[in-house]
Amino acid sequence: MIKPFLCARRILVAPFLIVVLTSGALAESRQIFANLTQTAKSDASINRLTGKDRVEAFEKIWRTINEKYYDAKFNGVDWNAVRERYRPRVEAAKSDNEFYSLMRQMAGELRDAHTRFLSPRQRQQRRRLQSTGTGVSISEVEGTPVVLSVGADSDAARGGVQPGMVVSTIDDKLIAERTKEVRDEIGASSSERAMRLLTYSRLLAGDPETTVKLGLVRADGTPLDVTLTRRTQSAAPKVTARLLPSGYAYIKFNRFREPVANEIKDALIKFKDAPGLILDLRNNGGGDGEEALRIAGFFFNEKVSFGRILTRTGKPPSALFGLIKLPKEFQAGRKGGQLYRAPVIILVNEASGSASELFASALQEQNRASVVGTQSCGCVLGVLEHREVKGGGEFTVSEIAFLTSKGRRLEGDGVTPDETVALTLADVRSGRDAALAQAEESLRNRAKATPRSAAIQ
């Protein structure tokens, strides 16, 4: 017998945008965008399509979105006009790769990070929990494109690349020029934060074993040119748990996916006497809804609202051809199920998306945790299934929108921290984690203001 709630695992299907740009211990830093940025050459040898095949696949994708999309107004987009614009371009496409690019652009018209198209190669990597990385991640800090992180055991580290170096060129093109090209290709996404993340991930994207040349500027103004090789790496879930020197427990994980809940359960039991806990959801792109609810339940001794869903029809969604109905409201927690009772701080940033945002918002609204960091992605819609098209590609459609327990929509807006700690270039260059430091300070201040006996009630 199938448990009805198991379908929720497909609802918060996560990582929606990015190729992992780092390696080793930092491989999780861009998980929410995994597998969406392979180059055209990647699919050259996979199930070639005829012109008729492409048109049929296009019609299937357009029609499914037209029938299933959660918003009958399509985010203000004239979806019929989209078909009229893209059909001639699909008919004129000279290759599968050109067709795949058109489908990514068409999905992007909806400005929705979860409605997307994956080429056959991208689909294979998603199913294998793989991604392609260069050993570095880059993003915008204080309006400047810089290296955010460098894998310890990477070509980048051996080549002298350091966090905080300014990116001036990519493959001998000015960074501003390459950024504009990528943004024009992407179109739009759920929020400007999502657009930045997707843009900077695509700047370094490409096939395994190909290279990318970076023109960098050190903090002292001197240049550094480095050529990095893209390599296939694991995108599997990873949990880091330890006691900080301050005595507070620290748990970081990159996605909500089995067996993360079990590992976090073990960590919470181990650290149950720690006076405070910091849950680091920065760069966590989401994952399974069931896994998110399990983890949230470790912090409550009763059932609490985790949020509710909205659909196009107003009726509860269903799966498996209607055999299983999904609840309109999700709850977490049970009597006797609380594993950790002391104060909790959740760290988020613009790369915290999907289930991570629902999780952080639920604990915040239930006054179970405070949130520290920067505004989260605002990428919170639900996908019920991955739909395959001829040739091996696939697409997903956002069929569900979410409201928090207090009725707030997170899509486009994201989670607002209780304490905002912006990333600065000085912190990146010095290796200082200002958000983590603020979280520890907040826990100390709370301990001073609240007796221990009261804090754990």
Q: Report CA torsion sign: 97, 40, 186, 20.
A: positive
The total of other beta-carbon atoms located within 10 Å of residue 267's CB is 22
Q: What is the DSSP letter of 417?
A: P
pLDDT of residue 1: 28
pLDDT of residue 232: 83
Cis peptide leading into 259, omega within 30 of 0?
Answer: yes
- Residue 259, pLDDT > 70, answer yes
- Residue 332, pLDDT > 60, answer yes
Q: Who has greater pLDDT, 188 or 385? A: 385
Give me the residue spans of the domains in the chain: 4-127, 132-234, 239-381+400-451
- Residue 447, pLDDT > 90, answer no
310 to each of 165, 398, 409, 411, how far by Cα in Å?
A: 44, 11, 10, 12
- Please, which residues have CB within 8 angstroms of residue 393's CB and are 6 or more apart in sequence? 57, 100, 103, 117, 118, 119, 120, 122, 123
Bridge partners, residue 146, by sequence: 139, 166
- Residue 145, pLDDT > 60, answer yes
pLDDT of residue 207: 82
Take residue 277 and report the two structure tokens written for it.
Answer: 């806990």
Q: Are 208 and 230 in contact (CB under 8 A)?
A: yes
CA pair distance 382, 398, nearest whole angstrom: 5
pLDDT of residue 316: 74
Q: Who has greater pLDDT, 30 or 52? A: 52
The highest-level CATH class for domain 4-127 is: mainly alpha
- Residue 71, pLDDT > 60, answer yes
Q: Who has greater pLDDT, 186 or 231? A: 231
pLDDT of residue 58: 97
For 113-122, the pLDDT digits (tens) are 889 998 898 7
Model confidence band, residue 319 (pLDDT cutoffs 50, 70, 90): low
Picking from 356, 394, 399, 351, the residue whose alpha carbon sits closest to that of residue 34 is: 351
Domain spanning 239-381+400-451: which superfamily?
A: 2-enoyl-CoA Hydratase; Chain A, domain 1 (3.90.226.10)
For 73-109, the pLDDT digits (tens) are 999 999 999 999 999 999 999 999 999 999 999 998 9
Bridge partners, residue 395, by sequence: 117, 387
If you average pLDDT over each of 7-21, 36-50, 166-180, 229-243, which comes out highest? 166-180
- Residue 191, pLDDT > 70, answer yes
Q: What is the DSSP letter of 383?
A: E
- Residue 15, pLDDT > 70, answer no
- Mean pLDDT computed over 273-283: 97
Residue that has been written with the tokens 């609240």 in this structure: 450
Take residue 204 and report the two structure tokens written for it.
Answer: 């370094």
pLDDT of residue 35: 39
- Mean pLDDT computed over 342-347: 98
The total of other beta-carbon atoms located within 10 Å of residue 85's CB is 12
Q: Rounded to the nearest 5 degrees, what angle is found at the Cα of 424, between the Cα atoms of 423 and 426?
A: 140
pLDDT of residue 313: 86
At 217 the three-state DSSP class reads strand
Mean pLDDT, the chain, whole residue set: 86
The highest-level CATH class for domain 132-234 is: mainly beta
Amino acid at 352: S
Amino acid at 216: L
Q: Are 107 and 373 in contact (CB under 8 A)?
A: no
CA pair distance 199, 184, nearest whole angstrom: 10
Q: Rounded to the nearest 5 degrees, what angle is found at the Cα of 57, between the Cα atoms of 55 and 62?
A: 95
Q: Who has greater pLDDT, 218 or 453? A: 218
pLDDT of residue 281: 98
CA pair distance 258, 237, nearest whole angstrom: 8
Beta strands in 7-135 (DSSP E): 116-118, 130-133
Q: Are 287 and 298 in contact (CB under 8 A)?
A: no
- Mean pLDDT computed over 18-43: 34
Q: Are 136 and 206 in contact (CB under 8 A)?
A: no
pLDDT of residue 448: 83
Model confidence band, residue 399 (pLDDT cutoffs 50, 70, 90): very high
- Mean pLDDT computed over 217-238: 92
Counting residues of the chain whose pLDDT is more than 90, the rounded percentage is 67
- Residue 31, pLDDT > 90, answer no
For 361-376, the pLDDT digits (tens) are 999 999 999 999 999 9
Amino acid at 450: T
